[in-house]
Structure 1
Amino acid sequence: MRARVLVALEPVVLACVPVALALAAFFQLDQTALLTFAVAVGALAVFFAGWEASSPALRQVMPAAVLGALAAAGRILFAPVPDVKPVSAICILAGAVFGRRCGFMAGALAALTSNFFFGQGAWTPWQMYAWGLVGYLAGVLAEHGAFETREGEPRRAAVCGYGFLSALLYGALLNTWTLVGFVHPLTWEAALLTYGAALPFDLVHAVSTVAFLLVIYAPWKKKLDRVKTKYALK
């Protein structure tokens, strides 16, 4: 019963994070960095609690753990190249093959573990949430057939289109947190400067995500689908 309640709350809790950012920006509340940080941590806590309450078997945990580790390793490997990272692509793959919850866990774990190399900080929960959301939404779209034809062939345009937009979504979440939490007073000029300065980096992230998807999505998905079928993974 507890697990079902937590699972049902997941979409609501995940939606609360951008809503909290919007409300903090609109009302220009004091201590917005701390307040929005608490909301992001709370959303992660509910999601992890729901995952734990469902008592997943080891074979159900392994895809999220392995893909999260691969994403973290890829982020570290490409560290010398700013914003060229395979993390979003691997999160999308995790969500598309193993479902929304696996996609979220892979993204959250990738951010958490790779930040032991890059450095932990107040940004870590936001990166966990943002990359987790990329994987979660990929799972939702895959469940509705957005990424495959009826014959089971990948819709490359849809996958790459989502990859491009999801990378921009990731950047928008992190940029908005920076703007709302640390820029006072909050003005349109400050917002334009913040988003404008970040746009080239976000576009590099978006284009590189598409490039990684073009390389890994079809072959990796084919192999992961076999693993999913062999071990009856959901």
Structure 2
Amino acid sequence: MQPTTKSNDPFLKKKFIITSIIVLILTPLCLLLGVTLWQDRRYNILSLIMVILACIPFFLSFEHKKPKPREILIIAVMSAIAVAGRAAFVWAPAFKPVTAIVAITGFSFGPAAGFLTGAATAITSNIFFGQGPWTPFQMFAWGILGYIAGVLGKTDWMKYKIWLIIFGLLSGILYSFIMDIWTVISYDGKFTWSRYFTAAGTAIPYTATYAISNIIFLLLLAKPIGEKLKRIKIKYGLLEE
């Protein structure tokens, strides 16, 4: 089973490189800035900066071709679905469809769309669930899962259930590991590995439940939603990656 490349467009390669720099370098630097210089006290500004960074690949697309409002609309719709899904399962704190919906967006429309959907879902849903210093970490966690899904979406792997199961499991673990960093820092602004391993161990039931929910929702939603997004993408030529 070999990955297949869907485009050799130089612009798309450039966009992918820029998206990767934003996700893997600039966004973590923003988080570091927030927990050191700002000590999590300006999380609203930090969240806004992260949203702007997430939008940069789309601004590049608008310079490359005539802007299509429906391209941003599809991100808004998928984010709204993820927010609604999080609200619908408010009674089950560790059982959410958010990662699955963000991942499906990434599978269909690429890393930039996946990252923006994840980041937008976190900051939007926290309007209802509560904003705080944890919001930028949630934005990064769901955003990077969307980014990874977008990278995997460039291959044929995610057409198979076994890979959906593996992704659901690992994404649940990665999300928990990222949020455990904030848990440790939230105590007194300091990070130690001993505290981190303690926090990660304490969170095992939450992590396991979240990973299971990711698997269930991916298996239930990936095909029906993915097929609809594919038809929309082909019909309107949206978010080509």
**Contact 1:6 1:49 survives alignment (8 Å):** no
TM-score by length of 2: 0.79
Residue 87 (structure 2) pairs with residue 76 (structure 1): yes
Residue of structure 2 aligned with 1:13, choices 17, 22, 39: 22
Instruction: Report the alpha carbon displacement of residue 219 of structure 1 after superposing the two structures with TM.
Output: 1.6
Specify the SS of the correspondent of 1:72: helix
Instruction: Report the alpha carbon displacement of residue 54 of structure 1 after superposing the two structures with TM.
Output: 3.1
Name the counterpart of 1:54.
61
Instruction: Report the alpha carbon displacement of residue 36 of structure 1 after superposing the two structures with TM.
Output: 11
**Contact 2:123 2:139 survives alignment (8 Å):** yes
Q: Which amino acid aligns with 1:221?
A: G
Instruction: Report the alpha carbon displacement of residue 174 of structure 1 after superposing the two structures with TM.
Output: 1.1
Specify the SS of the correspondent of 2:156: coil
Instruction: Report the alpha carbon displacement of residue 94 of structure 1 after superposing the two structures with TM.
Output: 0.2
CA 1:198 to 1:47, structure 2 compared with 1: closer, same or farther past 3 Å? same
Aligned residues: 222
Correspondence list, 1:110-149, <5 A: 110-147=121-158
Gaps of 5+ in 1: 148-153
Of the structure 1 ranges 128-137 and 54-63, higher mean CA displacement relative to structure 2 is found in 54-63
Looking at structure 2, the residues matched to 39 and 12 of structure 1 have their Cα atoms a distance apart, in angstroms, of: 18
Name the counterpart of 2:102.
91
Name the counterpart of 1:211.
216
Residue 115 (structure 2) pairs with residue 104 (structure 1): yes
Looking at structure 2, the residues matched to 53 and 91 of structure 1 have their Cα atoms a distance apart, in angstroms, of: 22
**Contact 2:19 2:111 survives alignment (8 Å):** no
Deviation string, structure 1 residues 139-175 (Cα, Å, up to 9, x no partner):
101113331xxxxxx2111122112111211111111
Q: C-alpha root-mean-square deviation of aligned residues, in Å?
A: 3.1
Looking at structure 2, the residues matched to 17 and 35 of structure 1 have their Cα atoms a distance apart, in angstroms, of: 20
**Contact 1:21 1:177 survives alignment (8 Å):** no
Name the counterpart of 1:193.
198
Could you tell me the percent identity over the aligned residues? 33
